[in-house]
Chain A
Amino acid sequence: MDNGIRIGVYTCHCGTNIAGIVDVRNVAEYAAGLPGVAVSREYKYMCSDPGQELIQQDIREYALNRVVVASCSPHLHEQTFRTAVAGGGLNPFWFHMVNIREHASWVHLDKAAATAKARDLVRAAVRRVALHRSLEKGRVKIHPDVLIVGGGIAGIHAALTLANAGKHVYLVEREPSIGGHMAKFDKTFPTLDCAACILTPKMSAVRAHRNITLWSYSEVTTVEGYVGNYQVTVRRRPRYIDESLCSGCLECVEACVFKQAKVTDEFNMGLSKRKPIYIPFPQAVPQVPVVDPETCIQFKSGKCKKTCMDACGERHAIDLEMKEATERIEVGSIILSTGFQAFDARRTPEYGYGTYPNVYTALEVERLVNASGPTGGEVVLRDGRHPRTVGIIHCVGSRDEKTNRWCSRVCCMYSLKLAHLIKEHTEAEIFNFYIDMRTPGKGFEEFYQKLREEGVHFIRGRVAEVTDWALDPSEEGSLVIRVEDTLAAFVRRIPVDMVVLATGLEPRSDAQEVRRRFNVSCSTEGFFLERHPKLAPVSTFTEGIFLAGACQAPKDIPDTVAQAGAAAAEALALIDAGFIETEPNTAYVNEESCSGCGTCAPLCPYGAITYSEEVRKAAINQAKCKGCGTCVAACPSGSIAQNLFEDDEIFAEIEGILSYA
């Protein structure tokens, strides 16, 4: 080429990932013959140090001024190669990446067709890169405050980590108290530490920390802006008790005109009753009761004696006129730690939950064995009996094509824990029914061994049904578990007094709504999608938004806490850098040809386009532009262009794909 363009093309084997299907040599040889190509090479791993050095060496030796790498997805290594190109002394944007792994070798079996595809894509890139211009990255300042959504153990741990580092954190929790699922547990596996003993100090620390603003009973309603500068609104539901005035004495609860608790207690999974004014559990944070307007007499009839207010006396903390409030905040980054929901056991009707009263879910049993639970830790059945035999059925709503396909990861271990606790509380004979025992974790297998030594039965077989039909008098009045014991290799009927369903973990029912609000993605099964499963496990595809805990995938407490720490570290790294570099893919107006029609301005969701009536021209604020390119496509006079995605670059790519040599 006479225009001085000298392109280096590098085709990566990626071991056999690419080379196993695509004839890499053929692609490299083909590229060598394309106009403007000064050098074309193939190499085993382009992303490795020697691979990058190869590029830099060629830049010097062959005086290259454009580089094309045909390897994996740009989402994985575009940054790597741009840095390598910059290290060779070129503008990092004189580079284009071709995806022949995810988009070719991994998705096709026909070697010739995959190779032809790779050649087409390389040819298109060679044409495109010749047109690339040198660009500078932009910079955005990062607001140092962080929003954490969800106050379970993940949100609590991330909040404390950030607050201890001196950053201000807004922790927003939907329920009246933080603590999440962990607050409902009695013990934690495999060490059997008391969940409350390890959780409540952290909850208190959240309450006391001067760097944490805790908004419980609240929800994030809107999120606008972008990394470094998010504008968030939070809806604070009225709890009808002023948090700043309440001392947490709970005398109002005592004084409620309901002498007996009559309302289903959500925290105790419906196993007990609460009053219309209540605190979800004794260690709740904030230590402030809440009034439930659905059941409070004053809200229903307006004729209550309001004994609660009398009890509160001079403090005047109770305000039944309280209205919903809205808070508006600015933060630089956001951590989502919205958690999971337990599988609804009614979806597997063969196990009789909801039909037979003595069939329980694991979360219900967590409350039953809990010393601060509805029975004070006594395992009593709904009919008042103490169970002498208990069956624990694993994988309910897990590993099942009809419900949820995935392994929920924690059920084997919590089933072992519950088996141990029930046995300890009742001395009942306990049967565990499992498909596979999955105990990969520190001390997990040893715990399983301990349970076997304790004499708990382990029956390998997926339970067919829980039923009440009795074959003989010995089964009368029992629940019969029918299962093929696949080790003994015959079908068994095991009569028990109590059945525990080890329900799996699934995405919260509003996960889709939440992900839209925060502009993140979900993976196929509905958990929030991390940016990379191995290398960016707490990041999302939206800069500045991080994930922690079971909202990303089922995980146990140690993994959740580790991930929360990682998310906090990522947020800290962002804050402490003070700014973030942005892709130079912004749009800009060619003033000469702009006809001043004004079509573009209302299209921009970020208000980056201003239209001046005086000069009848549009202008784009480079700091506000996020680089979608919608205005570019819409401009009737073709006067808006987009860096990195110039019209001529895209045309070159399309025509390059289609022009057969």
Chain B
Amino acid sequence: MSAFTYFPGCSLRGTGVAYDESLRTLLKVLGIALEELDDWNCCGATSYMAIDEGSAFVLSGRNLSLAREKGNHELLAPCAACYLVLRKTQDYVGRYPAIAEQVGQALSASGLPPLDGVRVRHPLEVLYNDVGTERIRKSVKRKWAGGKVACYYGCQLVRPFAEVDRAHDPTRMDELLRAAGIPTVDYALKTKCCGGSLTGTIHDVGVRLNYIILKEAVRKGAAALATVCPLCQHNLDVYQREIRRSTGEKLDVPVFYFTQLLGWALGSDPDALGLKRQVSGRRLVREWFAEREVAVHG
């Protein structure tokens, strides 16, 4: 089976650790090997780029270059921000000679090879294109007993530079979850921004954005959300208490990584999927993922 060089990114070492756990577990079940990129560094994302663009591209370029050095040019980046910055770097290096020169010089000064030839991939698109909904359907081991899920794609995965899904109306996460027997609801806010780091800075603005996204999902009949990005999951999951304080509404909606849900459907152990790391909706999580093996044929 296939293998990827793995770029977890800083978030998957912290608040997004459940994404890391569930992705590794799920891909193992599917026979996809991951080898973590040795000595990777910060991708140069948003906040860094706001201070120093050139260095941000160099940071990103070093990761790409390390992947190239390693030999496996398929680089898997689950964090939407990392994915976008890595691809943006490739795009701009190709498009703007000045950026290409700066990055190229920095890399060669560090004794690193040029960064071209690496293909940056995202798990959503790998699962959809390389694995496919058919194989997911055939690999299902557990029958879903939970509620409907709203797939929230967030912003950066469906914007310029990305090759994951359609920009306006992405559906691939929905298709994968449905293939795993998990019902999803369609809703118009699936690509609206969660506010990114605004929850940490202009708290009330960030919290309100998340309130709107969660509430609309619930209005459309969802009992939970599925995400593809550590920052989205963090924002939607951990601020529901603040939402209650500012709006008076008790939501308590669990927010998952799509890999957790797929992993569970494919029979993995809930702990190995990081399912104990949810902050909101813990009661539902316990209920839905209680160990009652319902064998599905196949």
Stretch in A46-54, A178-186, A465-473, A567-575 with 4+ CB within 8 Å of B: A465-473
Q: A470-B216, A470-B219 are in contact. Are A349 and B168 (CB under 8 A)?
A: yes
Give the residues in chain B near A468, CB-CB below 8 Å: 188
CB–CB A349/B169 < 8 A: yes
Q: Per-residue 0/1 for B195-229: is the Cβ within 8 Å of any A Cβ (1 yes, 0 no)?
A: 00000000000000000100010010000000000
Give the residues in chain A near B212, CB-CB below 8 Å: 469, 471
Minimum CB distance partner of B213 in chain A: A469
In the complex, number of A-B residue pairs with CB atoms less than 8 Å apart: 15
Report how far A350 CA is from B192 CA in the complex, Å: 12
Report how far A468 CA is from B212 CA in the complex, Å: 13
B189 at the interface (CB under 8 A from A): yes
Interface size classification for chain A: under 10
Of A349, A350, A469, the contact of B216 (CB 8 Å cutoff): A469
B161 at the interface (CB under 8 A from A): no
Q: Per-residue 0/1 for B168-206: is the Cβ within 8 Å of any A Cβ (1 yes, 0 no)?
A: 110000000000000000011100000000000000000
Shortest beta-carbon distance from B206 to chain A in Å: 17
CB–CB A467/B168 < 8 A: no
Give the residues in chain B near A350, CB-CB below 8 Å: 168
Report how far A471 CA is from B212 CA in the complex, Å: 7
Give the residues in chain B near A470, CB-CB below 8 Å: 216, 219
CB–CB A469/B187 < 8 A: yes
Q: Per-residue 0/1 for A54-83: is the Cβ within 8 Å of any B Cβ (1 yes, 0 no)?
A: 000000000000000000000000000000
Most A C-beta atoms less than 10 A away, residue of B168, B187, B188, B219: B188
CB–CB A469/B168 < 8 A: no
Q: Per-residue 0/1 for A319-349: is the Cβ within 8 Å of any B Cβ (1 yes, 0 no)?
A: 0000000000000000000000000000001
Shortest beta-carbon distance from B81 to chain A in Å: 23
Shortest beta-carbon distance from A102 to chain B in Å: 31
CB–CB B189/A469 < 8 A: yes
Give the residues in chain B near A471, CB-CB below 8 Å: 212
Q: Per-residue 0/1 for B215-245: is the Cβ within 8 Å of any A Cβ (1 yes, 0 no)?
A: 0100100000000000000000000000000
Shortest beta-carbon distance from A346 to chain B in Å: 11
Report how far A471 CA is from B169 CA in the complex, Å: 20
CB–CB A467/B188 < 8 A: yes
Report how far A467 CA is from B189 CA in the complex, Å: 9
Give the residues in chain A near B219, CB-CB below 8 Å: 469-470
Q: Per-residue 0/1 for A345-383: is the Cβ within 8 Å of any B Cβ (1 yes, 0 no)?
A: 000011000010000000000000000000000000000
Give the residues in chain A near B187, CB-CB below 8 Å: 469
Minimum CB distance partner of B220 in chain A: A469
Give the residues in chain A near B169, CB-CB below 8 Å: 349, 355
Report how far A467 CA is from B187 CA in the complex, Å: 9
Shortest beta-carbon distance from A440 to chain B in Å: 34
Minimum CB distance partner of B166 in chain A: A349
Give the residues in chain B near A355, CB-CB below 8 Å: 169
Give the residues in chain A near B168, CB-CB below 8 Å: 349-350
Q: Per-residue 0/1 for B149-169: is the Cβ within 8 Å of any A Cβ (1 yes, 0 no)?
A: 000000000000000000011
Minimum CB distance partner of A465 in chain B: B188
Give the residues in chain A near B189, CB-CB below 8 Å: 469
Most B C-beta atoms less than 10 A away, residue of A468, A469, A470: A469
Report how far A537 CA is from B216 CA in the complex, Å: 54
Give the residues in chain B near A349, CB-CB below 8 Å: 168-169
Give the residues in chain B near A467, CB-CB below 8 Å: 188
Report how far A355 CA is from B216 CA in the complex, Å: 17
- Residues 429-469 (chain A) with a chain B CB within 8 angstroms: 467-469
Give the residues in chain B near A469, CB-CB below 8 Å: 187-189, 212, 216, 219
Report how far A471 CA is from B216 CA in the complex, Å: 8
Minimum CB distance partner of B189 in chain A: A469
Shortest beta-carbon distance from B187 to chain A in Å: 7
Report how far A206 CA is from B169 CA in the complex, Å: 48
Report how far A355 CA is from B188 CA in the complex, Å: 10
Minimum CB distance partner of A466 in chain B: B188
Report how far A330 CA is from B15 CA in the complex, Å: 79
Shortest beta-carbon distance from A403 to chain B in Å: 13
Give the residues in chain A near B216, CB-CB below 8 Å: 469-470
Report how far A355 CA is from B212 CA in the complex, Å: 21
Report how far A629 CA is from B189 CA in the complex, Å: 63
Report how far A109 CA is from B63 CA in the complex, Å: 44
Q: Per-residue 0/1 for B126-157: is the Cβ within 8 Å of any A Cβ (1 yes, 0 no)?
A: 00000000000000000000000000000000
Report how far A387 CA is from B169 CA in the complex, Å: 27
Shortest beta-carbon distance from A463 to chain B in Å: 14
Report how far A8 CA is from B130 CA in the complex, Å: 74
Minimum CB distance partner of B186 in chain A: A355
Minimum CB distance partner of B212 in chain A: A471
- Residues 123-163 (chain A) with a chain B CB within 8 angstroms: none
Minimum CB distance partner of A468 in chain B: B188
Minimum CB distance partner of A467 in chain B: B188
Shortest beta-carbon distance from A490 to chain B in Å: 15
Selected A-B contacts with CB under 8 Å, 15 pairs: A349-B168, A349-B169, A350-B168, A355-B169, A467-B188, A468-B188, A469-B187, A469-B188, A469-B189, A469-B212, A469-B216, A469-B219, A470-B216, A470-B219, A471-B212
| A binding-site residues for B, Cβ under 8 Å | 349-350, 355, 467-471
| Additional A-B contacts beyond A469-B219, A470-B216 (11; CB < 8 A) | A349-B168, A349-B169, A350-B168, A467-B188, A468-B188, A469-B188, A469-B189, A469-B212, A469-B216, A470-B219, A471-B212
Among all A-B residue pairs, the 6 with the closest Cβ atoms: A349-B168, A467-B188, A469-B216, A469-B188, A469-B189, A468-B188
